[in-house]
Amino acid sequence: MRIIDIRETAVPLKSSLRNAVFDFSEMTTSVVAVVTDVVREGKPVVGYAFNSTGRYACGAQMRDRFFPRILKADPDTLLDETGGNLDPEKVLACMMSREKPGGHTERSIAVGTIEVAVWDAVAKIADKPLHRVLAERYNGGRVQERVFCYVGGGWYEPGKGAEGLKDEIRAKLGDGYTMMKIKVGGAPIAEDVRRVEAALEVAGAGEHLAVDANAAFDRPRALAYAKALEPYRLRWFEEPCDPLDYALLAEVAQRYSPAIGTGENLFSTQDVRNLVLFGGLRADRDVIQTDVPQSYGIAQFSRTLAMLDQHGWERKSLFPHGGNQMTLHIVGGFGLGGCESYPGVFGIFAGFADDAKVEDGYLRLPDRPGIGFEAQNALYAVMRGLAA
């Protein structure tokens, strides 16, 4: 068997939402299709993925370097030991040939998106859901039936005040969620504190609410927010500063005793290792949020997990950024702490299967082969068109 074609298209998110740093009016994402010569029900097996949300489309790198390397490779060198399926580890190694170490963000998103699409094809060829394939390979065969999901919301929107925020949280609790994350940093600190208090009126205890500053703060503002938020004992304070500013992050951790969440803007195992070594994070409470499709993909993520284990971090402390079907399978397959959800936020890229239902904060894992994009009608229409 072999990969016979790989295709990419850029799709605009068409969103007017805003966080503390930027709005999404220009945001695009890359959709990838990996076409194999394996035929099922008269059609070739195709693996799909997209590069999450919050990063722009990266088709140029894909077409210039990574697609050609895969398609020029001897097909046998990309197969697993059985010869009957692809080996994503080998595909990753092929893409990384002639690449200099370092400079991760220039290529990690492009490479990771393709690699996750290969995993979708692998699981479809094996006729198993991706989370089961990952559990068998990376989690001792321990297969989860459901995963914890929280809502990433509370965006800054025109005309949306504290009452609008409370209405949003009521609606999400009514949909079965038990935890909400809202944005901070896009308003004066006193206004953001009022928003947190309003959110807690609906969410209840601080363990049901997290806040996200999107790495917007300099030292004075990061420390001011840490002091202001401390009494509320929130589930976590996400990205109080640039995650590569280890000195400032460590200072925030010293001043802020509840949990901190960070890492979605780190794109390599090396960067995450430096984060836990020098960023002052505490393995007994803090949360790491690597976005797997943007960080060289699943095989590399398994190495990040192994590194974290060596430094005393449990898998329950990982809540990958993403809020999509890909991340849902990754959380379930590796047995991680939980998955983000963006219902109704990022158009066709938001949420999970069209019929997915959250109950008491948990979402049942899908049982169809692969990632299951076929159960997301609007997104799959784009994917199917790309593979046609």
Catalytic residues: 183, 321
Helix (H, G, I), strand (E, B) or coil at 3: strand
Sign of CA dihedral 219, 225, 231, 236: negative
Minimal CA–CA distance to 156: which of 51, 15, 28, 14? 15
| Two tokens, residue 374 | 């076929």
Torsion sign over Cα 115, 118, 122, 128: positive
Contact between residue 96 and residue 341 where contact means Cβ atoms under 8 Å apart: no
**Which of 206, 195, 149 shows the shortest CA–CA distance to 364?**
149
Among all chains, which residue has been given the structure tokens 């692998």?
122
The answer to whether 165 and 193 are in contact (CB under 8 A) is no
- Beta strands (DSSP E) in the chain are 3-12, 28-40, 43-50, 146-152, 180-183, 209-212, 237-238, 260-262, 287-288, 339-341, 358-359, 362-364
CA dist., res. 351 & res. 360, Å (int): 17
Q: 348 with 380: CB under 8 angstroms?
A: no
| Terminal C-alpha separation, the chain | 20
* DSSP sequence for 282-333: -TTT-EE---GGGTT-HHHHHHHHHHHHHTT--GGGB--S--BHHHHHHHHH
The SS3 call for residue 121 is helix
Q: Note whether 343 and 175 are within 8 A (CB).
A: yes
